[in-house]
Amino acid sequence: MHIDMSKKWLEGKGFLLDITGVLYDSCGATGTAIPGSIEALQLLRQHHVPFRFITNESTSDRQHLAVKLNTLGFEIGAEEIIAPAPQVVKILRERGLRPFLLVKDTVLPEFAGLNTMNPNCVVMGDAQDNFSYENINRAFSVLINLAQPVLISMGCGRYYKETDGLKMDVGAYCKGLEYACGIQAEYCGKPDPRFFQAALDSLGLESDTVVMVGDDVRNDVNGAQKAGMMGVLVQTGKYRTGDEGRGEKRPDAVMGNLLGVVRAYLDAAK
C-alpha cells in the first residue's frame, strides 16, 4: 500500500532508517530480514543517496548489531548506526555520573571504562531476561536512596516485534521505576530531538531535507516531524492497522515496506 499525505518527502536529500521492524524482525540472537529491505539499501547505495540507521536498540552494542544484520545479508558498518548507548556514555562523562547499569550483558562493551562503583544514577535499556525482580529492585534501591536521583532510559518504547510476536520494551519497566521512586526519567533515544540531531550531524544534512522511515508512528515518525524532518510510516514490524491515525500528526506517507519507500523516491527523482 502507498498512501501519500504529502509529496514533499519525495524531494528529500537523505534518509534516517529505523532498524528493528524496518530492516528486520528480531528473534533472540538472530532474526529475519524483512522482504525487500536488503534490496532497498543496495538501491540507496547504488544511487548515492546518503542515509544513516537510527535505532533505540539497546540489547547489544553497535558492532554486534552490525554483525547480526550482515549475517542476514545486509552490508552495514557499525559507524553507520546511531544508537543510544554512545550518547548516554557522553552524558555520563560530562556530568560525572557513575551508573548502575540495568542492561543486557551484550551492550556492556559500550560502557567500558566508566566508573560504576558507588552508583549515583541508573541507566537502563531493553535488558530482556535481566529485567528480574532482583535487578529492578537493585535499581530502585539506588534511586530511592539518592538525594537527587537520576534515571536515564535508552528509549521509551512500549513494545516491539520479534518473529514470534510483540514484546514489552524498556519504556514499560522505566515507568515502573518512575512511579515507585516518584521521579521523571531522562530519555536518550527516539523521540528525543537531541538524539535525532546527533543522527543529522552524522549525516551532514539539515533536518528539513531528511526523511525518517520507521514502523512506530509516535517515536519514529512523529518524533522526526517534531525535530523538523519528514516522517514515513512503513507497514512492517510492529505496525498495526490504523497506526497512521494514532499519532499526534499524520505521517507524510504510509508505505508497505522500505523497498516501496526507496522505489517511490527514486522514481520521483528521475
Contact call for residues 213 and 234 (beta carbons, < 8 A): yes
CATH code for residues 2-56+191-269:
3.40.50.1000
Domain 84-187 in CATH 3.40.50.1000? The answer is yes
Rounded Cα distance between 49 and 163, Å, is: 30
pTM to 2 decimal places:
0.87
Which of the four pLDDT bands, split at 50, 70 and 90, describes residue 3? low
What per-residue confidence (pLDDT) applies to 4?
A: 62
Contact call for residues 57 and 20 (beta carbons, < 8 A): yes
pLDDT in tens, 85-143: 999 999 999 999 999 999 999 899 999 999 999 999 999 999 989 999 999 999 999 99
Q: What is the average pLDDT value for the chain, to the nearest integer?
A: 93
| Pairing of the two strands 230-234 and 253-255 | parallel
Question: Residues spanned by CATH 3.40.50.1000 within the chain?
Answer: 2-56+191-269, 84-187
- Whether 44 has a pLDDT exceeding 90, the answer reads yes
Contact call for residues 54 and 82 (beta carbons, < 8 A): yes
